[in-house]
Amino acid sequence: MARQLASIVGSDVADEDARRIHQLTGGNPFFVQEMGRVLGDRKAGLSSPAVPASVLDAIAGRLARLTPTSVTLLRAGSIIGRDFSTAVVAAMLTLPVLECLAPLDEACAAGLVEPAASPGEHRFAHALIRDAIAAGLSTPERLRLHRCAADAIEEFYATDLSPHLFDLARHWTFAAVQGDRLHASGWIERAGEEAMRRLGYEESARLFRLAIDVGGGELDEISRCRLLLATARALFRSGEIATCVNTCVEAATRAARIGRADLMAQAALVPEAVGPSDTEATTRRLCADALAVVDPDQIAVRARLTARLAEASIYLAWSREHGTEDYVVAGSASAQALELAERSGDRAALEAALRAHRLACSGPDGISERMGLAQRMLSLGRAAADPVTQMWSHLWSIDVAFEFGDLTRVGREVELLSWCASEIQGPIARFHLLTSEAVLAQARGRFPDAIRLMHEAFAAVAWTGENGHGFTVRAGLLQFVGHHIGHEASGSVEASGYGDATVFDRPLPTAGVIVAVANAHLLVDVGRHDEAAAVYRSLGPIAAWTPSPHAILAAFAFGIDLAMVVGSRDDVALLHDRLAVYRGHHVVSGAGQVAYGGPGELCLGRAARYLNRLDDAVRDLEHAAATCVANGAVGFQTEAEYELGATLAQRSQPGDHTRARSVLTECASRARSLGMKPFEAKAHTLLDVLGDRRPSPLTPREHEVAELVGQGFTNREIAERLVLSERTAQNHVQHILTKLALSNRSQIAVWFTAGR
């Protein structure tokens, strides 16, 4: 015991001290630690490191000049705090209040205390005075006064204990050393519940853990499970998801040992679904274990467990190489959960089932159903005045509005979401709000705002770690911003983990396709084409791609750009046709936003241009540009205008070049105002080429000759191809050089290629 205390105190502990503390604590390790800290403070002559020894001596001298009753009152008050109620201190000492007034006046005259703002209360003149007086208490006296304070507060404030629960928890933490540990644990638990009510989630988790420690071996298994579950709920709200799940596992293990299926179910349902994470496999196992033992007649509970199992299965499918089985399980489970929930009539069960079903139909084919689910969720949330339920409704509506390209609707939903987040508080709600605001800013071309908001969102959930959901979301949005303003400006390369890499050697998951193609697309954007091509090839044939449903649009859009870099016309054509099924959709996630990718027609237009379907490309790009004008997505309007200008220049029909110059001039101007330097530079480069495309001085035959020169044909080969004499072919070449003020055949080739 003496050695254990010495490790806490940091100095030798007398055997007498060790025996006394062992007697007081009954050997309980928690209380040994707490009392050891008290002893350590006393050995240092301090109640806290902030009290100098000179202050202790000065206060001791002033106390020596007071009457014993005055000193006793001050010592009792020091246990309460810097402010203390005269009536409570009197009750602690079983003295009439009137008998305490004169001794307190004496202490006031000595400058140790002063009347507080509230009638009947006093206040130590300085916090150091209170600390110094408390430091002079012996360990037994300190414990006795804590117990007296707890009893007095319970009695004096019996009609309304809520404001005093934290004080009771503090006093009972020490008073329980002398016994009544279950009683003390109960008060600490009540303080934890009050902290939850006040949204102090971290403090609540600490208090619930403290209730377990104080209760010690006197807690029965049911009470311990209940406190573990309360701790887990507080941990979840404070954002400590991994610790929350581990606590749930402990609670479920204990519940299974004592045959309490209801507690096993609660343990499985505490960690709500917030996104793919390393804990989802554990959560799914907890749900499956609970479903195996929960009574079939408990329909509402089974509905909630089945719904949570479905969510976990979907998140696991996103990260597994062969996730098809998980999707099948999830689809069946979500439908079963909804049927059970509707049959039960239980609101919590119905909400859980709606959440699972929405995730199961997160692909673009399910957009209409998701819209209906959002409305049902909103009705439930408003009927119950529950901001959490309403938060999910608004998040789902934001997903749908983004996919329809309705940024005005997104803005309205974000405002409603803001109210929910302010009511809920906690990092998870803040993350969802900041992410939605960041994606909306990115969609509207407010790139600095988007970067700032996304960094704030990531900071809110930094506890998820390097591979957490927050990491993925931040990297995804910064990549889209970087595509428009440059990746150095957005910091996307560093955010994605490639900042120090000169060679891409990090294996990427091919499951769900999206992670691999998104990373490969970033590599293309920064000029690392060979590495991007290697990632693209690792995904196998396009026909075998099975993107995660929520990311179908982004996977096909990224895939088209990658296939063009690789140079596979067949792949571009196949991906174009698969994306074309979803004309009218915008490139976003159907299960929580990462970034806005503009109208699908923008990508379809690029693909059609690559495939030399130039009329189709012009139509799609005109539609994309007009859509972005209408919804305010100015960054993607600028991108669509550049692609349209390039396509018109390539098509070269009458009037195309004039229109291309006009479109590209607008594109360059807007790109400059938005800080989109890559697009400003590309637009100016193309304008430079088009600026030399005045009505050609060449005849049609000379155009034919120039094309063949550009392809590397000799005069003899040109003559044979056009059925001319070699001398005539030579004359045509000379006329071309003269008309274009060029000096050699190589310059003809450059002129013709630039014109194309």
* Structure confidence by residue, pLDDT tens digits, 311-338: 888 888 776 654 566 777 788 888 999 9
pLDDT in tens, 632-666: 999 999 999 999 999 998 888 888 998 999 999 99
User: Which letter, b or e, does each residue of 345-362 get, where b requires 16 or more Cβ atoms within 10 Å of its Cβ?
Assistant: ebbbbbbbbbbbbbbbbb
pTM: 0.69
- Looking at residue 323, its pLDDT comes to 53
| Edge-first strand listing for the sheet containing 113-115 | 83-85, 121-124, 113-115
Cα 406 to chain centroid, rounded: 23
Summarised one tens digit per residue, pLDDT across range 478-508 is 999 999 999 888 887 776 666 554 444 556 5
Q: What's the mean pLDDT in 370-380?
A: 95
Question: Across residues 528-555, what is the average pLDDT?
Answer: 87
Architecture of domain 700-755: Orthogonal Bundle (1.10)
Q: What is the pLDDT of residue 698?
A: 80
Q: Where are the alpha helices (DSSP H) in 216-344?
A: 221-237, 241-257, 261-269, 280-291, 299-319, 324-344
pLDDT greater than 60 at residue 523: yes
Percent with pLDDT over 90 in the chain: 46
Most confident by average pLDDT, 422-426, 538-542, 608-612, 749-753: 608-612
pLDDT higher than threshold 80 for residue 180:
yes
Q: Which two tokens stand for residue 417?
A: 């979401």
Q: What is the mean pLDDT of the chain?
A: 85
CB atoms within 10 A of CB 324: 10
pLDDT of residue 50 exceeding 70, the answer is no
Does 215 score more than 50 pLDDT?
yes
- For the stretch 66-97, pLDDT in tens is 899 999 999 999 889 889 988 999 989 999 99
**For residue 522, is pLDDT > 90?**
no
Q: Residue 119 has what pLDDT?
A: 84
pLDDT at residue 559 in the model? 92
Distance, CA of 606 to CA of 642 (rounded, Å): 11
pLDDT band at 272 (very low <50, low <70, confident <90, very high): confident
pLDDT at 572: 93
Residue 363 confidence (pLDDT): 92
Burial class (CB in 10 A: 0-12, 13-18, 19+), 672: middle
**DSSP string across 190-253:** HHHHHHHHTT-HHHHHHHHHHHHHHHGGGS-HHHHHHHHHHHHHHHHHTT-HHHHHHHHHHHHH
Query: What is the secondary structure of 716-737 as a DSSP string?
Result: HHHHHHHT--HHHHHHHHHHHH
Could you give the angle at the alpha carbon of 349 between the alpha carbons of 347 and 355, nearest 5°? 105
- For 102, phi then psi, to 5°, come to -65, -45
Concatenated DSSP letters of 452-493: HHHHHHHHHTGGG-TTSHHHHHHHHHHHHHHHHH-HHHHTHH
pLDDT higher than 50, residue 354: yes
- Cβ(593)–Cβ(435) below 8 Å: yes
Integer CA distances (angstroms), 511 to 139, 316, 426, 517, 541, in order:
62, 10, 32, 11, 14
pLDDT bin (cut points 50, 70, 90) of residue 1 is very low
Per-residue pLDDT averaged across 525-544, rounded?
85
**Per-residue pLDDT reduced to its tens digit, 668-714:** 999 999 999 999 998 988 888 887 544 567 887 888 888 888 777 88
Say if residues 219 and 230 touch (Cβ distance below 8 Å). Answer: no
Tell me how far apart the alpha carbons of residues 115 and 370 are, in angstroms, rounded to a whole number. 62
Give me the pLDDT at residue 44, please. 34
Give the pLDDT band of residue 176 (cuts 50, 70, 90): confident
Q: What is the pLDDT of residue 37?
A: 45
Conformational region of residue 652, where left means phi above 0, alpha means psi within -120 to 50, and beta covers everything else: left
DSSP per residue, 663-725: HHHHHHHHHHHHT-HHHHHHHHHHHHHHHT-SSPSS-HHHHHHHHHHHTT--HHHHHHHHT--
Residue 744: the pLDDT is 66
pLDDT band at 277; cut points 50, 70, 90: confident
The Cα–Cα gap between 496 and 536 comes to 18
The pLDDT score that the predictor gives to residue 506 is: 56
Compute the average pLDDT of residues 398-406. 97
Mean pLDDT confidence for 608-633: 95
Percent of the chain with pLDDT over 70: 86
Residue 468: is its pLDDT beyond 90?
A: no
- Confidence band for 560, pLDDT divided at 50, 70 and 90: very high
- What pLDDT is stored for residue 352 in this prediction? 92
d(CA 152, CA 402): 59
- Counted residue by residue, the chain has a size of 756
pLDDT number for residue 512 = 61
Question: Average pLDDT of 90-109?
Answer: 91
